[in-house]
Structure 1
Amino acid sequence: MSEELGPTEWGTTVGVGPWPGPWPADERYDPELLEHGDRRNVVDHYRYWRREAIVADLDLRRHDFHVAIENFQHDHNIGTVVRTANAFAAKAVHIVGRRRWNRRGAMVTDRYQHIHHHPDLEALRGYATEHDLALVAVDNTAGAVPIERTALPRRCVLLFGQEGPGLREDSRLGADLVVSIAQFGSTRSINAGVAAGVVMHTWIEQHADLSNAW
């Protein structure tokens, strides 16, 4: 069995120490990080980079899907959704409803992800229309088509409801497409953060260039 570390086996320390040797002559690098080390939750490609430089580089890599989640009851899953959207390089995350949300689950990835707020669904629809994005609602309700057998639009907003009540009825009725996730157990629904991850990865399988993955 190989003793080399795998991509998720980070050992006992996170990040890297001070830059060894002469510093690189590149404006993307942060002098403070070069001097003291970089303990942030970023892939090795972005070690020692300034935050602004990371965001600019990610903007060249982002995919054509957006993610939206309703926040009418201060949903605690939004941080998880943001973190997953960052991992899959979503174009942006849209929060519909309350502006405030719990950032703890985002694990600081919100610093690298474009996040927009919309007071209501009508505002989100307006954004989608303006940017030529199909609105894809995700909910296990009657009339939804199985995502496992559905071609997702390349340019789209994936809309998720909050934990408990799920999507509002007007969210489903106003969507261009409503998809469901196949389930086989006793529970009516899965966690909103988990559902978002499943659907985002389905988009990745259908549209992303996997040769660009880390």
Structure 2
Amino acid sequence: MDKKKKKSDFKNENMENIVEGKNPVIEALKSETTVEKIYIAKGLSQEGPMKLINALAKEKGIPVIEVDRKKLDDMSVINVHQGVIAQVSPYKYSTVDEILEYAKNKGEEPFVILLDEIEDPHNLGSIIRSANVFGAHGVIILKRRSALVTPTVIKASAGAAMHTKVAKVTNLTQTIKELKEKGLWIIGTDMDGEVSYKTNLKGPIGLVIGSEGKGLSRLVKENCDVIVKIPMMGEVNSLNASVAAGVVMYEVIRQRGI
């Protein structure tokens, strides 16, 4: 029996332990993520962003190892490592309570993003990036029927996933009910809703984004306090889930006067 592990076996075992690409690695080093080692392709350690990666790693006492690019190719999960890979501790998910506590500690009314079966990791990464940019206190995803935080998501978020609280829940409808009991106003997004900029989106907000193909599930939609839509003026009458999420997030902070 061959004791050597296949490349695919290595990838499957290390999906949550790898951060790839210059910006994601820099953000990992700037965050509270535990970075164990950094691998840089030979000959690149003093080029551009790699200098910053080396400086941040030295500051934190993290070993930097120069390796052949082929080794990075073998380690890579998403095949876009740009000559650098960080080995990190598995992604640490937050709890819903931790997200709300984070908002409280900042002296801000909660602004939480809830995702109803977003399965595309690129969409999840983009939504997390927008959530971070627009000051949301956290993102809530489902444990099943949902993309999880993987190297692809971290890369798509431009490293924002390393700074943004993400909680996994079993039942989104139940979570919505619990958030409503804690004073949050739950806003769903759907084409048959009210126009977003004509709707009051101030105060403690839970913004629910539906899945790429089906939108909001029936029970989730029924438990929202209000449904909003983005006005469409062109020939195409829909937006990518992550783009729609970013537009409505902006409307929330616009109304907050930020």
Q: Does 1:195 align with 2:195?
A: no
Between the aligned residues of both structures, percent identity stands at 24
Q: Does 1:75 align with 2:120?
A: yes
Determine the structure 2 residue equivalent to 1:137: 188
More strand as a share of residues: 2
RMSD in angstroms over aligned alpha carbons? 3.0
Residues 125-168 of structure 1 show CA distances to partners (whole Å, capped at 9, x for unaligned) of 13313432111001112xx1101211113201000011121111
Matches of 1:62 and 1:33 in 2, distance apart? 32
Residues 93-149 of structure 1 show CA distances to partners (whole Å, capped at 9, x for unaligned) of 1113526425131222111111111222223213313432111001112xx110121
CA contact (8 A) 1:95 1:116 kept: yes
Determine the structure 2 residue equivalent to 1:162: 211
Q: CA deviation at 1:169?
A: 2.1
Unaligned stretches of 5+ in structure 1? 1-11, 20-29, 37-56, 210-214
Counterpart pick for 1:90 among 131, 136, 141 = 136
Change (3 A) 1:112 1:130: farther
Q: How many residues are paired up?
A: 165
The structure with the larger Rg is 2
Residues 159-199 of structure 1 show CA distances to partners (whole Å, capped at 9, x for unaligned) of 00111211112222110010000001232310000011001
Determine the structure 1 residue equivalent to 2:156: 105
Give the letter for the 1:154 counterpart: G
Matches of 1:194 and 1:163 in 2, distance apart? 11
CA contact (8 A) 1:139 1:167 kept: yes
Determine the structure 1 residue equivalent to 2:223: 174
TM-score w.r.t. length of structure 1:
0.66
Counterpart pick for 1:186 among 221, 235, 238 = 235
Give the letter for the 1:194 counterpart: V
Give the letter for the 1:32 counterpart: K
CA contact (8 A) 1:94 1:115 kept: yes
